[in-house]
Structure 1
């Protein structure tokens, strides 16, 4: 007589325990590193920034948003509403969740990411000559702010263009960045729907809506990269569903979006691995040629205008070696970054890694995981992964709603894991002051 398989609720509690043990071990390692006086370069390990305790009337916004999403999922509304409303609602919910968390610090919770010490401090250098700024970007790298020195020129040029359109308020700019970041949710859900079915996508919606990494969506330009990366992945999925020139055009679009993302973040190039794995998994390997050509177009276009992507990457790496490497221990940060990952992605990460082989969306998880492992293995993960890895976090939790065995029955939304993740986000926001 075989034992009855554990219920979904029991599995969730087991996953929560596994995540808590790993996160607790990571926090213990972080505490030991701090007590031992390790070179961490931050006062708020495992994150960057400083610690303080902030509780205000605005702190009630986040619990209200979290409660509304959890009730909607628990009552089954996300499975009964039309798909378009779930898609639109997911973007609205992520925006509200990120905004509610940021507003714990008032308006400053949004605008600190656009301070003069960040990308916004370099916008004035563009002046009336964006092409001149682009052509001298690498040679003048030492004159840029710390955020700009570690990235290609697209973030600064985007902010410059938006200001030229008449949007000069820091708060309005920050709200726009947050809104773009929130658009990644319906794009990801569309890709999940195509790969695993609509029921799986609906179950995954609350995982994205209340993701703990929303703490940094409202304070990081990397949220824009996350949205571009999600659009790229969806275009790649669409390419595998078409044939002939339609497939080729979708693949070229995926490549174009990857190239654009690479002009925002050097690490974004890793997102292309997800599409490569997808093409091979669906036996459409020839599409890699079209996506590869598409990816080259923005990069070569920028090179024609004076910005060589490889030279910029080299300058960013040299800056890393001079400004960060001597002050942050690679050994300790390799361990601490895993702790930051566990906290930023939340309990669904544990369930996802446990069930990765059971989801047809494994190419997305493999691509994101490869980027994370390379960053750690190469010694580049030395603080700040909570925003640098924003484009990867959603894909790392994609298997949280996978069946317990390949081809098994779909599982409901892991609301226990989602609720604990949302609670951890509220705690992080209350005690952490990020420098962005």
Structure 2
């Protein structure tokens, strides 16, 4: 079957994107400055609030971190990766054959994440992270009988009954914990294997986003976004946290649906559905990924993948429910557990905007500038393109819709009150889809913006202990 072509890769690689010079560089710098100001205000207000009564439950708000300037074994590698991407990344992204670009972007992201993690050293930066008292590996031995553990899972969510789960186990559906149980079963037990698994899978999300952007908005924009995705500041929290793994699973679900919608692939639609079903059992907040998934269908104006997608997606909740775990019964208990802990202490009045400051650090100032172009340049044109009598949106209009859907999902998570702090880590599944906004930045300034992205990650990782 012939592949439906949505790429505009026939344009020269060095040709500016439509609107690339929109209003010049100054508004982009202003947007980045506003992002930096938001972070500064959140730090200042947060420090005063935390010093007064400790209610923020974060030593260095808006991040869950503590002030501790340091360097480590990964410092030279991180500086080298950043320099190479800044100097050579844009040109390589323009010229490499597509499949080689995907592999290169994945490998670069992998090197970036590992080098940042190793600033803390192998033990503290990778091997120990998923073995602390709040983490999944603490309960592996309680899953010797998996069906029995699932049947009794909800009995241990709230604090009070004997044997309540550690915070991260209680705070997620059992799919998250089962991942590490299965790794242990196949001989990859322990914190080191768990950390490597999360880093390798987390880095693969870069390739997934590139595939989706190419399918929906064209190869030119995907290539422009590639260096920014590979050098994402939130890599600081991808290595090592399970949320990097969650983000990659969600990203591949969206990418495969984009492939299914543009290439009429039944296999891709089924795989996308399975991954979305699994995503919902990795984190209670990730059903919000349905917003970017629905946007894929809006952009491509097709319902062909819907039936196989839903059929495959429903097999996951069916399997869990038949085994004894009911998602809808567990979620209210999670809310109770959340307010028994830090969620009941942390003030919404700070975190509802402090979260956005943490998000700014996670996605970087270049993304803030790209979002400025997304929000001021093409939203109305993108929405008009959804009219059934108009051609399907492509290029910047399609990219705008995809980015806006992720931004909407992030804002919904923020307003819910169930994400107060730690969003630099928790919101990685949404951050992946904000970074493509950098493709709208002018070609001539890409190296400077990449340097700014790398600088944010390096400063954060060297100035504070992040805790993840």
Normalising by structure 1, report the TM-score. Answer: 0.90
Partner of 2:169: 148
In 2 relative to 1, CA 225–412 (structure 1 residues): closer, same or farther, beyond 3 Å?
A: farther
Alignment partner of 1:273 is 2:311: no
Instruction: Give the 5 Å matches for 1:149-298.
Output: 149-243=170-264, 246-247=265-266, 249-285=267-303, 287-298=305-316
Partner residue of 1:48 out of 36, 60, 64: 64
The alignment of Structure 1 onto Structure 2 pairs a total of residues equal to 421
Contact 1:48 1:435 in 2 (8 A): yes
Contact 1:211 1:418 in 2 (8 A): no
Alignment partner of 1:136 is 2:152: yes
In 2 relative to 1, CA 151–338 (structure 1 residues): closer, same or farther, beyond 3 Å?
A: same
- The more displaced of 250-259 and 44-53 is 250-259
Q: Give the Cα separation in 2 of the matches to 1:94 and 1:201.
A: 16
Q: Give the Cα separation in 2 of the matches to 1:50 and 1:80.
A: 42
Partner residue of 1:19 out of 21, 28, 32: 32
Partner of 1:77: 92
Which secondary structure does the structure 1 equivalent of 2:56 belong to? coil
In 2 relative to 1, CA 6–296 (structure 1 residues): closer, same or farther, beyond 3 Å?
A: closer
Contact 1:401 1:412 in 2 (8 A): no
Q: Give the Cα separation in 2 of the matches to 1:86 and 1:60.
A: 25
Q: Give the Cα separation in 2 of the matches to 1:145 and 1:162.
A: 19
Partner residue of 2:448 out of 412, 416, 424: 416
Q: Give the Cα separation in 1 of the matches to 2:298 and 2:242.
A: 31
Deviations 1:139-175 (A, max 9, x none): 1224111111111111211111111111234223211
Partner of 2:406: 368
In 2 relative to 1, CA 166–137 (structure 1 residues): closer, same or farther, beyond 3 Å?
A: same
Alignment partner of 1:106 is 2:121: yes
Q: Give the Cα separation in 2 of the matches to 1:84 and 1:291.
A: 26
Partner of 1:125: 142
Which secondary structure does the structure 2 equivalent of 1:271 belong to? helix
Contact 2:339 2:345 in 1 (8 A): no
Deviations 1:306-350 (A, max 9, x none): 111112222211111221232100000111111101111002322
Partner of 1:66: 82
In 2 relative to 1, CA 132–13 (structure 1 residues): closer, same or farther, beyond 3 Å?
A: farther
- The more displaced of 138-147 and 31-40 is 31-40
Partner of 1:380: 418
Contact 2:202 2:244 in 1 (8 A): yes
RMSD: 2.3
Deviations 1:123-149 (A, max 9, x none): 12112x111111111112241111111
Q: Give the Cα separation in 2 of the matches to 1:100 and 1:250.
A: 33
In 2 relative to 1, CA 413–279 (structure 1 residues): closer, same or farther, beyond 3 Å?
A: farther
TM-superposed CA distance for 1:10, in Å, is 9.1
Q: Give the Cα separation in 2 of the matches to 1:112 and 1:359.
A: 44
Partner of 2:339: 321
Deviations 1:12-69 (A, max 9, x none): 5642442223322332233123214362011021111322111235322211011111
Q: Give the Cα separation in 2 of the matches to 1:149 and 1:269.
A: 18
Q: Give the Cα separation in 1 of the matches to 2:302 and 2:101.
A: 30
Alignment partner of 1:89 is 2:104: yes
Q: Give the Cα separation in 2 of the matches to 1:10 and 1:61.
A: 37
TM-superposed CA distance for 1:403, in Å, is 7.4
TM-superposed CA distance for 1:196, in Å, is 2.0
Contact 1:236 1:254 in 2 (8 A): yes
TM-superposed CA distance for 1:189, in Å, is 0.6
Contact 1:154 1:264 in 2 (8 A): yes
Q: Which runs of 5+ in 1 are unaligned?
A: 405-410
